[in-house]
Amino acid sequence: MQNLLDYTKKELEEFIKPNFRAKQIYEWVYKKNAKSFDDMLNLPKTLREDLNEKFYIDPLKKIKSEKSSDGSIKYLFELKDGKTIETVWLPMKDEIYDEDGNLLRHSRYTVCVSSQVGCKIGCTFCLTAKGGFVRNLTPGEIVAQVHYAKKDNNIPYERRVNIVYMGMGEPLNNLENVKKAIEIFTDNDGLAIAPRRQTISTSGLSSQIKKLGEMDLGVLLAISLHAVNDELREKLMPINRAYNIASIMDAVRNFPIDMRKKVMFEYLMMDNLNDSIKDAKTLVKLLHGIKAKVNLIYFNPHEGSEYKRPSMENMENFQSYLRDHGITCTIRESKGLDISAACGQLKERAKISDR
């Protein structure tokens, strides 16, 4: 059987006739959250029976979830082949009401999705690397993570969420399937999540950044930089031997992006390693001429890691230096510190509990 969520609406139209049936199926799956083809009552019985024989619409099985006191939820999903992945639901902004109790702004949410089972990159600070690379996720397995998270948190269809391809895996190593997932997400008869709400985070595969730019999908780009010199970056991220910092900056400078937007640079701060003012000065030089926003992230310690969480003072001093030199810089609020928040933690803990 095949995963129906792997198909764009146009692809469904090629083998489901008449064409408008594909739109109906899309609406049942993504708008009405149908649990089975039997729920799709405006489809002919013969078509429902045929769909039941050929497709499934539930590629994910929740194995475990942990909810933080800040509202973040970490999901561990099992795929049809028994492999597992993680997805994170992140509340970003609360609802706002006026003095009369009228709603001024809805809550805002981000879903952090995985793009691979495991990862090839081998970052020394990341638990996902511990299990090595297993396989790419299909487009439907990526789409299902957002679809599940919205349903599980009772978010109405018309309320949009943001998506970051920042979970397990390197999305640019699965570019074709990620591209197709983006197309499925953006379909107005599907989840209707605009490209500008989707951010692809990469460890810096320069050649793939170029390919992504040529696709002109309209998505945002985030670079996991984490160091300002090649020596340290190679220690943290061995992929830097193939794609050094200079090649990444060249690729970013040529990446097409909406004039109203910026390229995000993710910078994981680790105590006494990359959190000095000297590092901040070098970063300013690296970003010269790039419309950039820097997101400083506290390292989230996990068992067995040699790296430590930086001090708040160093984080704030680093941020102030960048801001004083004209670079937009935020400190990402740490979420899920009371649960298995870092990539791979929930999966590893689940393994331990099963032993």
Residue list, annotated binding site for [4Fe-4S] cluster? 119, 123, 126
Cβ neighbours of 154 (radius 10 Å): 7
Query: How many Å apart are CA 166 and CA 219, to the nearest integer?
Result: 14
Q: What's the chain's length in residues?
A: 355
Sequence ranges of the binding site:
119, 123, 126, 169-170, 201, 224-226, 300
What residue ranges in 190-322 does DSSP mark as E strands?
198-202, 220-224, 263-269, 292-298
- Active-site residues, by number, are 86, 343
Taking phi first (over 0 means left), then psi (-120 to 50 degrees means alpha), and beta for anything else, what does residue 169 get?
Answer: left
Which own/partner contact pairs does 319-325 have at CB distance under 8 Å and 24+ positions apart? 321/277, 321/280, 321/281, 321/284, 322/280, 322/283, 322/284, 322/294, 325/284
Backbone φ and ψ of 87, nearest 5°: -140, 145
Query: How many Å apart are CA 319 and CA 88, to the nearest integer?
Result: 26
Task: Calculate the alpha carbon distances from 287 to 184, 209, 245, 294, 325 in Å.
Answer: 33, 17, 11, 10, 11
Largest CA distance in the chain: 69
Dihedral sign (CA 146, 148, 150, 152)? negative
List Cβ neighbours of 354 (8 Å cut-off, separation of 6 or more). none
Sequence ranges of the binding site for S-adenosyl-L-methionine:
169-170, 201, 224-226, 300
Taking alpha carbons only, the member of 12, 17, 111, 116 closest to residue 57 is: 12
Q: Is 73 helix (H, G, I), strand (E, B) or coil?
A: strand
Alpha helices in 16-138, H assignment, sequence order: 20-26, 45-54
